Structure formats: structure tokens, C-alpha cells
Amino acid sequence: MTNKIRTRYAPSPTGYLHIGGARTALFNYLYAKHFGGEFIFRLEDTDIERNVEGGEASQLDNLAWLGIIPDESPLKPNKKYGKYRQSERLDLYKQIAEDLIKHNLAYKAYDSTEELKKQHDEQEKAGIVSFRYDRNWLKISPEEKAKRDKNNEYSIRLALPKNEVYEWNDLVRGLISVNSDDIGDFVIVKSDGYPTYNFAVVVDDHSMEISHVLRGEEHITNTPKQIAIYKALKWDMPLFGHLTIITNMEGKKLSKRDTSLKQFIEDYKNEGYLPEGIFNFLALLGWTSADAKELMTKEELIQKFEPERLSKSPSKFDIIKMDWFSKQYMKTKSNEELNKILKIKKDKEWTTLFLDTYKQNAVTYNQLKEDLNIYLKTKKTLDIPYEKNNVLSTFASILLNKEFSIENIQSAIDETKNKLNVKGKDLFMPIRIATTYEEHGPELAKAIFLFGKEIVFERLKKWS
Ligand code: GLU
């Protein structure tokens, strides 16, 4: 074991990058970077039936979009650690499983599916609530055993010692201990020859010199099994930390079937959210900064990510809060950066005014594009019922006689106000609707100016 901090994110390529997965990846990334260590991406792809085409690329692409770039991955392997996809490491698992068998630390279990079910049923009848595999239950003749052995009809189970305590000091939850008698011999290699998750993950974490494992709390029950494997192999184990669950606004654990919420990073990317905002938001799903600050750049988060501040209580996925973060980063974007995405083909003055005005309130790039369309695809008719009134005719007659500029639009508004002694909504609403054909918008004089003289004067003439 080295002293170097090495963390990892090890998804199965069964789908796109989910919020929960992204949070796990991010916490491992921040942890490693905080301590000047390395963050590794590797793939748990031995459940062939569940793998989806393009799953690996999608995970990596979405992580990169968020700004989480692994130091090592299947595409950027460190030769010293072998391959970064489990499907390409099968020989290693096999060899280690054989070693365990040789030292009587694991054994071949020859039960067929039916026999296993029978053992289950018997335990159930005897009132045993949770099943423990009994390695002496199966009674078959030496010939039958030889036959099954020849046909590879067996799985490999770890031989757990009796009454052994497996414990770890969880980085999030403190000391957790589990007795081996409460686990029972479990499968490390399935009858199809593939390693189980618990076995492969230990082999990978050990051989890749992983120092810290941060993962979702659904893995807490796996950790004692993994410790049993570390002990059998006499390997040092990494430190474990189990992150609390992420819930929806009702406090229910996020489930992929929950349609009240978009749960894939890709969805937010397509909607034009700012990755910096999501990065910042996700960092606060189960962690807080000592100074209670919320808005933090990647560099600041890396610097402040002290593991002592990992939270023990569930964290809510609050989309309103995520929007707030995206909005804060939108404001900080330069107009050049924004225009690379929006590609506005108007003059510089217009473009600057539009971006300066609208980036203050937009959450996503898509929203900015919609705002832009108000000016590019101007409405031909006013679809808000409205009647000619004093405010309008006064405003129109003043503005139609002036140079078209923000200052003059503003003074036309002011003059109308003074002349008629109207203010607030009674003043702004008629002017806004008559000139912009919208009920809402940014500061009135600017919104009117952005429509341009031609459109505004044409619209005003109807009211003068
Ligand atoms: N493939 C597992 C998962 O996505 C990895 C668990 C682990 O980090 O050990 O949940």
C-alpha cells in the first residue's frame, strides 16, 4: 500500500450518468484533489446483460462536461495497474479465487439452483429470517461432484471463519461492525465464471492501490463482505465512507423511476444548464463548507473539501437551488463566452446590451435563446387585449419626436409620468405591452430599445 491518496468511481455501464453517480464521482474527485492525490475511473462491466451500448462513453463524457476529469481511465490507463474494465481483468479474478481455494479460504459450492432454493425453503420453515448458506447441507456422491466439477457447475464461495468481527471506521458514520456469523459464506465467483461485485471490487481496489472508497450508503451491507475478502487475502483495506442518500423534495430516496425530476446529467446538459453550477450544487449534496459558504468554484471546493464535514443526514435534491447556482454562474460569464453559444448576429452595441441585461436572470442557455427569440422572431400582433389610453398616447407623442436611444426612452417615460401624474404599474404596464407586446421583461427602457426604432415606432403610431 502506498501513502498516496487514490480514489475511484466505478460505475457499471448500464446507463447514463445519474445525479447519484455524479455526486459519488465528484466526492471522490474532490477528496483526491484536496489531498493532492489521484482520481480513477474504472468500469464494472461484468453484468453483460445489463450493459448498454455507449454507457462507458456517456459516463465519461458527462463527467468531463461537469469538469471531472479522471487521472486514469480505460482510455488513459496506467499500465502498472492493468486494464480498467473488469471484463478485461477476468484472469486476475480467476487466479486469485484459485489461490483462495488452494489455501482453504474459499471452496467450490456445487449446489444447483433448485438445491439452493431447497436449502432456502428449509431455513425459512425452520423460522430463520435471513438465509445463511450452510456449506455442509449438500449431500452428493463423489461421482456426482466430479461430474459437476468437470462441467464447471459450481460457484465459488468464501469460507468465512466463525464469529469473526469485521469492522471499519466509516468516514461518514464512524465505527461499524458486523459479525461473520451474520453474513454466511457468500459467492465470489458465479457459476458462469464471472466474479461477483464484492470480489472484483476488492481485487480492483487492492491492485489499483485505492486508498479511500467513497460510495453510496446502499453499499454499507457489502462492506463487511469486502473486509472478509481483504482479511482472507491478508491485504490492507482502504478507508471507507458511505455517503448519505439523496432524496426528492418529499424526502423519498431518488429512484430512477421517479418522473417528478430529471435525474440524468445529460438532461441538464441538454437544457443548457451551466456545468459549474451543477458541480457546485452537487458538492453540497452531503457536504458543507466550514464557513457555510455555498457559492464556490471548483478550485475553492477542492481546497475546502475536508472529509470531516461529510454530512450524516440525507440531502434533498432541490431543483430551485440548482437553478440558483446555474444562474449565479451565468452572471459571471463574459459576453464573448455567451455569444460563442448564442451566436447573435446583431451589432456589438445591441449584443452587449442584450447579454448584459439578460444574463442577470437566466438559468440556462436555452432560456437565453428564448429571450433572444423575443427580438429575433418579433410578434406581428398584440395578443394581450389592450385599449388605447392617455398614458400611451402621451408616451407615443413624446417618443416619436425624439432620437431613439435608451436615455430618450427613459426621459419619455419620465415626462409621461410627470405630465399625467401616474406612476408604477399604471404607467409601466401600458407602455410595456404596447411597445414590447409582452407583460414581463427587463428594465423597460432597455427592453424597448432592444426592439429597435423601426418596430417600436411602428407599434407606437397605432396609439398616438
Ligand atoms: N458499480 C458499483 C456502483 O455503481 C460500484 C460500487 C463501489 O463503488 O464499490 O454502485
User: In this model, does residue 385 exceed pLDDT 60?
Assistant: yes
Which sequence positions are flagged as catalytic?
256
- Find the 12 Cα to ligand 1 centroid distance in Å: 7
Best residue among 219, 223, 227, 240 to mutate for probing ligand 1, ranked by most atoms within 8 Å of CB:
219
Q: What pLDDT score does 271 carry?
A: 97
- Find the 200 Cα to ligand 1 centroid distance in Å: 11
Classify residue 162 by burial, with Cβ atoms within 10 Å: 0-12, 13-18, 19+.
exposed
Indicate which residue's Cα is closest to atom 4 of ligand 1: 11
Domain range summary for the chain, segments of one domain joined by +? 1-72+244-332, 93-189, 336-461
Question: For the chain, what percent of residues have pLDDT higher than 70?
Answer: 99
Measured between alpha carbons, how far is 119 from 134 in angstroms, rounded to an integer? Answer: 8
Residue-wise pLDDT for 434-452, tens only, equals 999 999 999 999 999 999 9
Q: Check if 11 has its Cβ closer than 6 Å to any atom of ligand 1.
A: yes
Q: What pLDDT score does 261 carry?
A: 86
User: In this model, does residue 381 exceed pLDDT 90?
Assistant: no
Q: Which three cell numbers stand for residue 115?
A: 438445491
For cell 464447471, the residue is 152
26-29-31-33 Cα dihedral, nearest 10 degrees:
-140
Q: CA distances (Å), 292 to each of 36, 50, 188, 217, 306, in order?
A: 23, 41, 44, 24, 13
User: In this model, does residue 380 exceed pLDDT 90?
Assistant: no
- Find the 435 Cα to ligand 1 centroid distance in Å: 57
Indicate which residue's Cα is closest to atom 1 of ligand 1: 11
**Which atom in ligand 1 lies closest to the alpha carbon of residue 21?**
4
Q: What pLDDT score does 383 carry?
A: 81
Q: Which three cell numbers stand for residue 247?
A: 432524496
Residue-wise pLDDT for 79-128, tens only, equals 999 999 999 999 999 999 999 999 999 999 999 999 999 999 999 999 99
HSE-up (13 A, CA, CB side) for residue 251:
1
Confidence of residue 1 (pLDDT cuts 50, 70, 90): very low
Instruction: Round the average pLDDT of the chain to a whole number and report it.
Output: 95
Residue-wise pLDDT for 318-358, tens only, equals 999 999 999 999 999 999 999 999 999 999 999 999 999 99
Tell which CATH classification among 3.30.70.3270, 1.10.238.10, 1.10.10.350, 3.40.630.30 matches the domain 336-461.
1.10.10.350
Q: Check if 111 has its Cβ closer than 6 Å to any atom of ligand 1.
A: no
Q: Check if 12 has its Cβ closer than 6 Å to any atom of ligand 1.
A: yes
Q: Look at strands 106-109 and 155-158 and give their pairing.
A: antiparallel
HSE-up (13 A, CA, CB side) for residue 192:
7
Q: Is residue 256 a known part of a binding site? A: yes
- Find the 149 Cα to ligand 1 centroid distance in Å: 31
- 81-114 b/e with 16+ CB inside 10 Å = b? bbbbbbeebbebbeebbeebeeeebbbbbbbeee
Q: Check if 210 has its Cβ closer than 6 Å to any atom of ligand 1.
A: no
Measured between alpha carbons, how far is 437 from 431 in angstroms, rounded to an integer? Answer: 9
Q: Which three cell numbers stand for residue 125?
A: 420453515
- Find the 144 Cα to ligand 1 centroid distance in Å: 37
Q: Which three cell numbers stand for residue 148?
A: 459437476
Q: What pLDDT score does 260 carry?
A: 80
Q: What angle do CA 69, 320, 289 make, to 5 degrees?
A: 55
Report the phi/psi class of residue 193: left, alpha or beta, with left for phi > 0 and alpha for psi in -120 to 50: left
Confidence of residue 463 (pLDDT cuts 50, 70, 90): confident
Total count of residues recorded for the chain: 464
Q: Check if 215 has its Cβ closer than 6 Å to any atom of ligand 1.
A: yes
**Which atom in ligand 1 lies closest to the alpha carbon of residue 9?**
8
Residue-wise pLDDT for 42-80, tens only, equals 999 998 888 888 999 999 999 999 999 999 999 999 999
Taking domain 1-72+244-332, whether its CATH number is 3.40.50.620 is answered by yes
Residue-wise pLDDT for 398-416, tens only, equals 999 999 999 999 999 999 9
Q: Check if 202 has its Cβ closer than 6 Å to any atom of ligand 1.
A: no
Residue-wise pLDDT for 147-189, tens only, equals 999 999 999 999 999 999 999 999 999 999 999 999 999 999 9
Indicate which residue's Cα is closest to atom 10 of ligand 1: 11
Classify residue 408 by burial, with Cβ atoms within 10 Å: 0-12, 13-18, 19+.
middle
Question: For the chain, what percent of residues have pLDDT higher than 90?
Answer: 90
Cα dihedral 301, 304, 308, 311 sign: negative
DSSP codes of every residue in 214-277: EEEGGGTTTHHHHHHHHHHHTPPP-EEEEEPPEE-TTSPBP-TT-TTS--BHHHHHHTT--HHH
Q: Which fold has domain 93-189?
A: Glutamyl-tRNA Synthetase; domain 3 (3.90.800)
Residue-wise pLDDT for 208-251, tens only, equals 999 999 999 999 999 999 999 999 999 999 999 999 999 998 89
Q: Check if 14 has its Cβ closer than 6 Å to any atom of ligand 1.
A: no
Task: Report the candidate in 366, 370, 369 with the shortest Cα–Cα distance to residue 273.
Answer: 366
CA 378 to chain CA centroid, nearest Å:
38
Residue type, 125: K
